[in-house]
A and B are shown apart, each in its own frame.
Chain A
Amino acid sequence: MKLRELAHSRTGDKGDVSNVSVIAFREADYPLLLEHVTAERVKELFAGIVRGEVVRYELPELRALNFVMREALGGGVTRTLALDLHGKCLASALGELEVSAEGGRRA
């Protein structure tokens, strides 16, 4: 299933760094997020947009993940040529990520 069915997300910006949260709707789904929504997959999804490293932080008490993506905003909010200069739409692209429920133990 798509990540959008399991979690909600918001994008924040600071300079050329974008952060995207991934927050489980249901507590029970948090392990699925931990397993499937990795920094590597997020970096791969945003290839061509995010040029720098992607670091994942875990917030178990909130059943949430926070991805910090460097060189993600075309040189920074204040100088980018992008239409979405803050990268606010990035979180919605993440919702397309495929997360397989039955593969929770597999992967």
Chain B
Amino acid sequence: MRSVRIGSGAGYSGDRIEPAVELAEKGDIRYLALECLAERTIAIAQQARLADPAKGYDPLLEDRMRAVLPACARGGIRVISNMGAANPAAAGAKVMEIARALGLPELRVATVTGDDVLELVRDGDYAVEETGLPVRALSSRLVSANAYLGAAPIVEALARGADVVITGRVADPALFIAPMIHEFGWAMDDWAVLGKATVAGHLLECAGQVTGGYFADPGVKDVPDLARLGFPLAEVEADGSFAITKVPGSGGAVTTATCKEQLLYELHDPRAYVTPDVVADFSHVRVRQIGPDRVAVEGGTGHPRTDTLKVSIGYVDSYIGEGQISYAGPGAVARGRLALKIVEERLKLTGVQTTELRGDLIGIDAIHGPRLSARGAEPYEVRVRVVGRTDSMKEAVRLGNEVETLYTNGPACGGGAWKAARQVIAMVSTLVPRDRVGHAVAFAGVSQ
């Protein structure tokens, strides 16, 4: 029985581009999936779309597609990506434009829509999972609401002959299990096989994180050649069993240890990894090194999918103002602490309104707070960081200013001041009945 090789060419929106090209050229893959849509990214994309109806898709779409499409077209590799973000149709049109410019006018580009459920949750009776409050209460602050679609629309696009499938919000593993379902003709209620496939999707979805990225700890866990980290591919059999490997000669490593770490990454209850397609069960997964940079993963299974779909909701939460400045040499820490005290007092004196405020000394206690950090010798340099939450951009800007003015008003020899103020689009989630969410598959450049 034939197997199918599926590559993972991106693990987040800003990921390296050339490992995907390497997979397409040397990975002997049939499919290249590019996962580029973090939780918040879609809300920011929605704002971009509101400002310009031709935008709202991944900002690196053009660079990535220009890089991978020639090799994919040569190798007959089909590309699946969620780079459509808040505007899959515009992204699809852009991919067609790029394909024509590359001399590939025959490329068939499908787009998947239906994940945008803003109207449904704005008017419906849904509770925010994190707070229990009605979604409706967010009213004018709501920016986006996107249901996590499953593999079905991508399978449909592949069945209709798509060379490139562009989606908005879909569950990350769906980008990987869809081509398996398409190739092997699995039933959409074969929970055991879908669960097994979801283990593969989960291992692949963060790209380099299973091939040695986010793993190295010199002297304890060494990884070769991280500057040329190879991205992973799964070789999947018709029964859903699979091995993880990478292009020979690329950097990084695929070992049982890298696979175990990624298997547990963002996992909660190992028995219930909930996706739109299946409740996957990771609790009896085993890993086995079967060759250099090649690990077999066995024991995954699944249970029936739930009746609801998770919806990720973006809303305008607050504003954050921040400022930083450095001190070095003898007494640096004392000057840093003095600086924090001065800014705190200044914020009170000048009436900057914050709802939450923190002061850090980067290099001392910024990451794990004063209790865990209370040990060790004083460092040569520290960086003061003051950050606060405000209800307006104006207040956020004032906060950063109070750090910057330390230059001439604060402790001696403060340098490298930096400030920023930004709007915070935060994310919460809710569940909606599966039957309230539809989907559509369209082909770019083809009237429906």
Task: For the complex, give the distance between the alpha carbons of A90 and B368 in Å.
Answer: 8
Task: Determine whether the beta carbon of B284 is less than 8 Å from that of A19.
Answer: no
CB-CB under 8 A for A83 and B366, given A8-B221, A21-B260, A78-B40: yes
Query: Using a CB–CB distance below 8 Å, which chain B residues touch chain A?
Result: 39-40, 130, 214-215, 217, 220-221, 257, 260-270, 282-287, 299, 317-318, 320, 356-358, 360, 362, 366-369, 371-372, 385, 387-389, 424-429
Q: Which of the candidate stretches A30-38, A62-70, A99-107 sits at the interface with the other chain?
A: A62-70
- Name the one of B268, B287, B369, B424 contacting A79, with C-beta atoms under 8 angstroms: B424
- A-B pair count, CB < 8 Å, reads 113
Task: Determine whether the beta carbon of B270 is less than 8 Å from that of A57.
Answer: yes
Nearest to A22 among chain B residues (CB) is B264
Task: Determine whether the beta carbon of A59 is less than 8 Å from that of B283.
Answer: yes
Does A43 reach chain B (CB closer than 8 Å)? no
Task: Determine whether the beta carbon of B426 is less than 8 Å from that of A19.
Answer: no
Nearest to B314 among chain A residues (CB) is A78
Task: For the complex, give the distance between the alpha carbons of A84 and B425 in Å.
Answer: 18
Task: Determine whether the beta carbon of A19 is less than 8 Å from that of B424.
Answer: no
Cβ contacts under 8 Å, B257 to chain A: 8, 23, 25
Task: Determine whether the beta carbon of B320 is less than 8 Å from that of A59.
Answer: no
Task: Determine whether the beta carbon of B220 is less than 8 Å from that of A48.
Answer: no
Task: Determine whether the beta carbon of B266 is less than 8 Å from that of A12.
Answer: yes
Cβ contacts under 8 Å, B429 to chain A: 15
Nearest to A90 among chain B residues (CB) is B368
Task: Determine whether the beta carbon of A12 is less than 8 Å from that of B267.
Answer: yes
Cβ contacts under 8 Å, B286 to chain A: 61-62
- Name the one of B362, B389, B426 contacting A83, with C-beta atoms under 8 angstroms: B362
Cβ contacts under 8 Å, A83 to chain B: 360, 362, 366-367, 385
Task: Determine whether the beta carbon of B367 is less than 8 Å from that of A84.
Answer: yes
Chain B proximity mask over A41-79: 1 for CB below 8 Å, otherwise 0: 000010111000000010101101010100000001111
Cβ contacts under 8 Å, B265 to chain A: 10, 12, 19, 21
Cβ contacts under 8 Å, B264 to chain A: 10, 12, 19, 21, 23, 59, 62, 64, 66
Nearest to A12 among chain B residues (CB) is B266
Nearest to A23 among chain B residues (CB) is B260
> Could you list 20 examples of A-B contacts with CB < 8 Å?
A10-B265, A14-B268, A15-B130, A19-B264, A21-B264, A23-B257, A48-B369, A48-B371, A57-B268, A57-B270, A59-B282, A62-B286, A64-B264, A68-B268, A76-B427, A79-B317, A79-B426, A83-B367, A84-B366, A96-B372
Task: For the complex, give the distance between the alpha carbons of A13 and B209 in Å.
Answer: 14
CB-CB under 8 A for A78 and B425, given A23-B261, A62-B260, A93-B372: yes
Task: Determine whether the beta carbon of B266 is less than 8 Å from that of A62.
Answer: no
